[in-house]
Amino acid sequence: KATTYYNFTNYCILAGVIYVICLILSSFKEEKIKKRTIISSMSYREYNRKLLLSNSLFAIVLWIFYVLLSFILVGNIMFTMHGLVYIINSFLFTLCAVTIAFLIGNILTNKNAINGLVNVIALGSSFLCGAFVPMEWLPDTVLKIAHILPSYWYIKTNELVKTVEVFNRESMMPMITNMVVILLFTFGFTIITNMISKKKRKLD
């Protein structure tokens, strides 16, 4: 029950974070605001860092909401080590979702395109990675493709948690590895966003 719940939050977190953050970032692309930002003494890295941190606050509030909801819906399992791993894993994925949203928000210029893109990314990754359909039911080809998505590593950890009876170094290592992969995705998206932002400022 806990695994199903946290697998489904893959869609909820991605959709919510991407939609709201992209709308916020689109407001900063309005001509007057954009020009003021460019002529200011603030570097693109500092500008991106402040936007990223402020948008992360919204994402963390959203994450807290889903965690609190899990205590109500799932029950006592959330007070165990299993529950703690679910919570940590979902937190790392939420941070990754913020960087994905930030990257998309820096590329998109059309507000009308946000709805469509949210559906493609959130729904697409949820279906491909096993959020709606259990991983064991998905074809091997689909799972191989899913490796390039952060959602795969997030859901894979959730699936591992439900099989663990005793938490020790041996049982934790595969989960820690998956979480490290999610962090690498997070850093990778941040670097790409900074590169795009720098290039756009030069063009402007």
d(CA 128, CA 147): 10
pLDDT digits (tens, 9 = 90+) for 57-83: 999 999 999 999 999 999 899 999 999
Burial class of 150 by CB neighbour count within 10 A (0 to 12, 13 to 18, 19+): buried
pLDDT at residue 10 tops 70 = yes
Q: Which two tokens stand for residue 39?
A: 């002529």
Q: What is the pLDDT of residue 136?
A: 85
CA 60 to chain centre: 11
Q: What is the pLDDT of residue 201?
A: 61
CA 49 to chain centre: 17
Nearest to 130 by CA among 119, 145, 120: 145
pTM of structure? 0.89
pLDDT digits (tens, 9 = 90+) for 16-60: 999 998 888 887 776 666 666 666 666 666 777 788 888 889 999
Q: Which two tokens stand for residue 7?
A: 């697998």
